[in-house]
A and B are shown apart, each in its own frame.
Chain A
Amino acid sequence: MSSFPWLTVAILLPIVGAAVVALLPKREPGAALPKQVALGFSLVTFVVVAIVGLSFDVGGPRYQFTETHEWIRAFGAFYAVGVDGIGLVLLLLTAVLSPVVILASWHDGDGGRWSVNAFFAWMLALEGLAIGVFAALDVFLFYVLFEATLIPIYFLIGGFGGPRRSYAAVKFLLFSLLGGLLMLASVVGLYVQSAKTPSGPTYLLTELSKIDISTDVGRWLFLGFFIAFAIKAPMVPVHTWLPDAADEASPGTSVLLVSILDKIGTFGMIRFCLQLFPEASKWATPVVLVLAVISVLYGAIAAIGQKSIPRLIAYTSVSHFGFIVLGIFVLNSYGQAGSMLYMFNHGLSTAALFLVTGFLISRRGSRFIPDFGGVEKVAPVLAGIFLVAGLSSLSLPGLSPFISEFLVLLGTFTHNFWYALFAVLGIVLAALYILLMYQRTMTGPTRPEVAGVKDLGLREVSALAPLLVLIVLLGFYPKPLTSIINPAVADTLQQVGVQDPKPAVPASASGEENAQ
């Protein structure tokens, strides 16, 4: 807890790295230097974020590492950053995944529309902006960075991907802009509300959560924020951009998109919807929960029907995001803690799944499930990692996503039996889509087209290894994360003004123990 601006450094490092990589001389395609520089910057960023994580004081004040500087006085906007448990977890996720993605995408930028420099520069820029989003404690700053992340990802999808990439990129951008601009209307509305207070307009989160917003206004403003986050997350019925984007983007881009950027949606729901508009959040709960359950089931059923592997994974994410939103809006500590944990775990397991299938797809030259068969015989390591990643995605006990999914369902049962009953079906469907995909691609007789598929190389394994280690480790021992998360959960629920229902069983502390 020194006064050194760690978070600003963590934001600026990747952005500076992006500028450096972009300005490196253009070499022949496949040149290693830009990649090495990009990897270096992302590793240094990881170290900085790790320092933040290690020196985060669990029992300390809610927001730590705070920096506040006046930015635009007339708008009441501040450059204010800081992390609480939720922000820190996502910061760590971003910092872990970025080097992994860069290492795994070593050759993905080679065949792109632009130079390999551009590919890695956009990736680093995205990392810096994402860290900024998760650290922002000012609504205006958050909004600016939230929208700014669209540009790098837009060029990553549009520049380095499949044949219909520019359609996918534009669709993604327009969906996101629609949400973003609706949110802008709410952000403007917040300004007007805060300007009515004697202290004048401000966008500081800590100040905004104190002001009294009338019920009607609060609900309208909530809607603006919520729709933006629901598009981002993505929830049914505004999810359709994700399968297209994931289908066309390179695997690394998909990881950045689904594992990191989409978390901004659910993060924003906790940070802004719940904290700024507690009344409206409670008001909206029934509708949101129904939509969340529909997302869980629809995403899972749609995933079963997909032929394209990235599309399938995208739909599984729709289902998983349904769980996360469910956990957030049941408004009790199990659900909240589960959702926050889920965000981290889903990031890991989906990243592993996207990357390992990406390796598979680039080897075979096709992304359609019927084109594969019997790969486990020619590429056992690949098949093994694929299986582990898949099992983590279906929340096998012993792997980290299990704990979060269990907590979310526990919270849902506490809230309302019927939502939980339908949501549980999502688990069964998850087993179906993952195991069917594994069975169709990996088992059975080896098809002649995949006979020449090479197994994973050292670079690919070492890119995936950290993810698998974390998945297994956190599956058995999630305490490092839960101890960070629990105070944040308590603070959020206190802000919303709800208390956990008294358990019917006498052992009142048992729930808390389970959470750890």
Chain B
Amino acid sequence: MTSAVTLAAEFSKPDVEYSLISPLLIVFGVACLGVLVEAFVARERRYLAQVVLGLVGVIGALVATIMVAANLAPQGDTAGRGEIAVEGAIAVDGPTVFLWGTILVLSLISVLLFAERHLEGGITAFAGQAAALPGTTAEREASTRGLEHTEVFPLMMFSIGGMLLFPAANDLITMFVALEILSLPLYLLCGLARRRRLLSQEAALKYFMLGAFSSGFFLYGIALTYGYAGSMNFGDIAEAITGRIGGQVLLLAGIGLIAVGLLFKVGAAPFHAWTPDVYQGAPTAVTAFMAACTKVAAFGALLRLFYVGFGAARWDWTPMIWVVAILTMLVGCLLAITQTDIKRMLAYSSIAHAGFILTGFVGLHQVDSFAGTQLSSVQAVLFYLVTYGFMTIGAFAVVTVVRDGSGETTHLARWAGLGKTSPLLAGVFAFFLLGMAGIPLTSGFTGKWAVFTSAVSGGAWPLVVVAVLLSVVAAFFYVRVIVLMFFSEPVGDGPTVTMPSVMTTVTITVGFAATVVLGVFPGPVLDLAANAGQFIR
């Protein structure tokens, strides 16, 4: 502390490794450009400009990520590769670039979903004028004039930027800033549905309130941890935990409170209550983006913080994560059975998946030196996140095209007989459901296998038995939807499948292809995840 005071007098320029964090800079740059487009480009040209800008930005960041990944140098004699950048604030290592790549690819297909205009008759699925109250003349005027909010694209870009920063953050303050950057645009996006606006606004408010609440916990946890360790930096916290004796209460309270903030973001029970409401109310494109990318980013951050920062205190926090994992799987699987809305059901299913990922996370299995080909926990969780992301976006993309006169038909009963009217789409959706249920030859199976293995290797076999039994329960509600689609007669005017533009089609196709390929030949992606190695300090 004293050195910091003396140094403050003479301000020295921080050392920023621009090339290492170029993906972040590109995404944030594009987001700012997007804001300028809103200000200076004519209304009718904004949509095209924003879509092109968004796609170019994400692809550019992807290319930059690949360049960064190719140049990662081994760090000392540890298993990790990469280096700590920006004065210790950001760690660019193997897992970071893997997560960056995952988030960017998933974002790319989400951008396509955002840009879909065909389904609403030449207009995006976002509110024409979000400020107009639902049911007023102002709203009607906005819709007759065909207004649309192209601001969703820069908002999305900011959110992606936050997601990239989140798992890369190497100190608690950076992590908190990233958390807020990724969350604030999402709160807004959730409230922007064109149809069912009250539901959407309710979702946004709920998400915001609970999100702000959990941020409070997170901040308090940061303060306590700082009080214990005397530093925000993960490496220093780890050293403090190994070196210091006493002050355990401060540390444990800090870990617990920070965990609340992070577990809220991944949607783990008992901090899951927002998930179904928000997933249901948000525009489906946003739900897809949020369900996939937020979870990837938040689990990345969770892994880094708990493995690197709190790694030495693992005997203190593993029991807590055990309980949370079991609770999450229970809540996700059991409550999903009672759902009657497809989006809510998928929300509970995503809670259940968070539980499965936590199972792998808690395995804490590091690669043994003598059997180099064995799976590690980090590798398993990273792989699961990839498989989960593609399935989720694909499934929600299918939800966007099943519609009737009042928009998307999300009530489960209305999906009856879909297999008769549109066998191809119903088949694809059934495949996604089978994937989520973990049937072999889909990516869901290989992902499940990976996390279960890492958990058993780490000695968490009771957790795996619970997970396996609950997987059967989960299979029940997935299969129920398949039964409904294929084995039930349509009730009245069944929903119709609106032919989407090529953009949504691409999203569904990519999700489907990834689910098949990762299910049959998961080798390359698993190797990539293995190559990512361990976190560095």
Contacts and interface: CB of A to CB of B under 8 A. Distances in A.
Interface stretch (A40-48, A70-78, A329-337): A70-78
A166 B487 contact: yes
Given A74-B375, A189-B461, A184 B441 contact: no
Contact of B439 (A148, A158, A198, A200): A148
A144 B457 contact: no
B440 A144 contact: yes
A195 to B, nearest CB: 5
A173 interface: yes
B214 to A, nearest CB: 33
A499 B483 CA distance: 50
Interface in A61-119: 71-76, 113-114
Nearest to A118: B423
Contacts of A182: 468
A51 interface: no
Interface centre among A151, A184, A188 (most CB of B within 10 A): A188
A216 B522 CA distance: 32
Contact of B487 (A75, A169, A181, A200): A169
A369 interface: no
A71 B446 CA distance: 13
B452 A170 contact: no
Interface string B480-498: 1001001110000000000
B523 interface: yes
B476 A75 contact: no
A346 B413 CA distance: 43
A72 B441 CA distance: 13
A144 B530 contact: no
Given A113-B486, A195-B371, A148 B456 contact: no
A191 to B, nearest CB: 5
Nearest to A179: B472
- Interface range on chain A: under 10, 10 to 19, 20 to 34, or 35 or more? 35 or more
A200 B453 contact: no
A201 B373 contact: yes
Given A72-B522, A158-B487, A184-B468, A191 B372 contact: no
A159 interface: yes
Contacts of A75: 375, 446, 449-450, 453, 522, 526
A235 interface: no
A73 B483 contact: no
A217 B472 CA distance: 23
B535 interface: no
Contact of B456 (A113, A145, A188): A188
Nearest to B434: A151
Interface string A176-205: 011001101101110110011110110000
A218 to B, nearest CB: 14
Contacts of B439: 147-148, 150-151
B441 A181 contact: no
A238 to B, nearest CB: 13
Interface string B449-486: 11011001100010011001101100110011001001
B483 A74 contact: no
Interface centre among A113, A114, A192, A201 (most CB of B within 10 A): A192
A182 B373 CA distance: 25
Nearest to A140: B449
A201 B374 contact: yes
Given A113-B486, A174-B472, A72 B523 contact: yes
A177 B373 CA distance: 29
Nearest to A182: B468
Contact of B370 (A174, A187, A189, A198): A198
B60 to A, nearest CB: 31
B449 A73 contact: no
Contacts of B449: 75, 184, 187-188
B453 A191 contact: yes
Given A72-B526, A200-B371, A192 B475 contact: no
Nearest to B458: A192
Contacts of A201: 371, 373-375
Given A72-B526, A74-B530, A169-B487, A184 B452 contact: yes
A145 B486 CA distance: 23
Contacts of B379: 74
A197 B374 CA distance: 11
Given A143-B440, A148-B440, A158-B486, A195 B472 contact: no
Contacts of A71: 523
18 contacts: A74-B523, A75-B449, A143-B440, A144-B441, A145-B440, A166-B488, A169-B487, A178-B472, A181-B468, A181-B472, A185-B456, A185-B465, A187-B449, A188-B449, A188-B456, A189-B456, A189-B461, A201-B374
